[in-house]
Chains A and B, each alone.
Chain A
Amino acid sequence: MPLTHIQSQLQGIYDLRLDHRVEDFLITDEAQVDRLEQCRKFRSTQEKLLISEYDGELFVSLYLAEELLETLETNNPYRRLESKNLREFCTVLEGVSHFIYLTWNATHDRSISRLELELQAEVDKFVSIFLLSGKQGSPIPWGTLSTWLFDRCHYDSALGPDELHRYKTANKLAREFCRRLEPCFDSEGLHYGIIKELRRFYRKRHHEKLTSAGGDVLSRSP
């Protein structure tokens, strides 16, 4: 199942030990999501991480629309990543990335902000697609991937202004982070230096993570 592949790929890149399997937290029934959200009007999306905290315990579910998983079952991106499954792969990868980042931080008793969650997911998508396409013998050039993922992305028109702002900030910081890593990327894989940098970045949080991603973006003249 692609979910297992995605989880093990991300855990491998970042050297994460996690006792939870994403499949065990998966929901594909939209009606169940509505019930969990208690009919509050949240934006309808194909991927959603549902979180609630009660009495010091964190309850997590990952909703992925059935059709996303069907597409990935039919056109498995781990056999061949192509235009037929790239969008769906990104959406599912984003959900799995959120799940891993949240649960890993929660198990280490670390709080994270939604901006950090979105930023990490953007980086995860970039690195995963770059690696997977390289492994399959048809590496997507760094610039092409960056343009597609960061410059030509579309934002849901239903996003509220705060959410939109958060996504745009995460996008800009992730693009900056990946831009600085470019000289270290190798189409044949990741050498140890870049893996160390990615692992360090994963474990940073709050201000340090944001500035580490953005580099000199704040110091540069707008």
Chain B
Amino acid sequence: MVEQEACVIEATSLQAYFHDSLSDVFKQHDTQLTQEAHAYIVNLLFHFSRSEQVFDWHEKRLTLKPLALLYGEAVHAKSNGERLLVLRRLGDVALFVAGIFGPSLDRKAVGINYYIDMGGGAYDWLSDNLENGGKHSMSWETFRELAVKFENLVSALDSFAQNSCLRGDSSLIRLYEKWLRSKDPKCAEQLRKQGVPVSSVDSKLTH
């Protein structure tokens, strides 16, 4: 029970941090989002705060699957449900990578506009093909909103990444991952200094 409680505290605090920080950034960028779209971005950042959620293991290392290959998986999908999931991942990965790692895309053959185009297109397709109120947890309106505002969202996430030291060796996400693995109090302290109120539950209690 202690373990469960500790996990809830960790999750809530990081999501709360993302929520508040993003609210500020969206205001600065004059980007108005519905609650659903805002929550979607918060959950996206939280989900991708674990690098294995963004990258795939390939030949003993983490690699980023090209968007074109994800698109190919959607083309060859065996069911519409699978296709929805693949295109949603395509949109999510494109938004996260373009927003958080945008500067590194300058060194790639395809630039940031490719990610904006592919990701926005995937969300647009989802909005067109989701039945409102169907089995899927997301509404088509949210995906439409994400598609229309995709470029603004990338720009806002870029500012967010700069403000939050999300990039580089001392990045927040790396620090958070290290803390998740080790529960090192020093990491926790550094995270708190950067505004992430992680749980102070002792590592012994969580295992």
Interface residues of A (CB under 8 A from B): 51, 53, 111-116, 162, 165-166, 168-169, 172-173, 205-208, 210-211, 214, 217-219, 221-222
For B81, give the chain A residue with the smallest CB separation. A222
Question: Which residue in B83, B113, B114 is a CB contact (below 8 Å) of A222?
Answer: B83
Provide the main secondary structure of the chain B interface: helix
Query: Which segment, of B16-24, B117-125, B183-191, faces chain A?
Result: B117-125
| Minimum distance in angstroms from B181 CB to a CB of chain A | 30
| A residues less than 8 Å from B78 (CB atoms) | 222
B207 interfacial contact with A, CB 8 Å:
no
| A residues less than 8 Å from B74 (CB atoms) | 218
Q: Is the CB of A218 within 8 A of B76?
A: no
For B113, give the chain A residue with the smallest CB separation. A111
For A172, give the chain B residue with the smallest CB separation. B75
Asked, given contacts A111-B109, A221-B80, whether A166 binds B114 with beta carbons under 8 Å apart, the answer is no
In the A-B complex, the 9 residue pairs with the smallest Cβ-Cβ separation, listed nearest first, are A207-B121, A169-B72, A115-B68, A206-B117, A111-B110, A113-B68, A207-B118, A207-B117, A111-B111
Question: Which residues B34-76 have CB closer than 8 A to chain A?
Answer: 66-69, 71-76
Q: Is the CB of B72 within 8 A of A166?
A: yes
Q: Is the CB of A113 within 8 A of B110?
A: yes
Interface residues of B (CB under 8 A from A): 66-69, 71-80, 82-83, 87, 109-111, 113-114, 117-118, 120-122, 125, 129
Q: Is the CB of B114 within 8 A of A206?
A: yes
| Minimum distance in angstroms from A36 CB to a CB of chain B | 17
| Minimum distance in angstroms from A112 CB to a CB of chain B | 7
For B120, give the chain A residue with the smallest CB separation. A207
| Minimum distance in angstroms from A127 CB to a CB of chain B | 21
Cα-based distance from A205 to B77 in the complex (angstroms): 22
| Minimum distance in angstroms from A191 CB to a CB of chain B | 30
Q: Find the residue from A214, A217, A218, A219 having the highest chain B CB count within 10 A.
A: A218
| Minimum distance in angstroms from A144 CB to a CB of chain B | 24
For A115, give the chain B residue with the smallest CB separation. B68
Q: Is the CB of A206 within 8 A of B121?
A: yes
| B residues less than 8 Å from A211 (CB atoms) | 121, 125
For B125, give the chain A residue with the smallest CB separation. A218
| A residues less than 8 Å from B71 (CB atoms) | 115, 169, 207, 210
For A173, give the chain B residue with the smallest CB separation. B75
| A residues less than 8 Å from B75 (CB atoms) | 169, 172-173, 214, 217-218
Question: Which residue in B67, B109, B118, B120 is a CB contact (below 8 Å) of A53?
Answer: B109
| A residues less than 8 Å from B72 (CB atoms) | 115, 165-166, 168-169
Cα-based distance from A169 to B90 in the complex (angstroms): 16
Cα-based distance from A165 to B70 in the complex (angstroms): 10
| A residues less than 8 Å from B111 (CB atoms) | 111
For A206, give the chain B residue with the smallest CB separation. B117
19 A-B pairs (CB sep. < 8 Å):
A111-B109, A113-B68, A113-B114, A114-B68, A115-B71, A162-B66, A168-B72, A169-B76, A172-B76, A205-B117, A206-B121, A207-B121, A208-B117, A210-B121, A214-B75, A218-B129, A222-B78, A222-B82, A222-B83
For A217, give the chain B residue with the smallest CB separation. B75
For A205, give the chain B residue with the smallest CB separation. B117
For B115, give the chain A residue with the smallest CB separation. A206
Q: Is the CB of B122 within 8 A of A166?
A: no
| Minimum distance in angstroms from A162 CB to a CB of chain B | 6
Cα-based distance from A124 to B198 in the complex (angstroms): 56
Q: Is the CB of B80 within 8 A of A162?
A: no
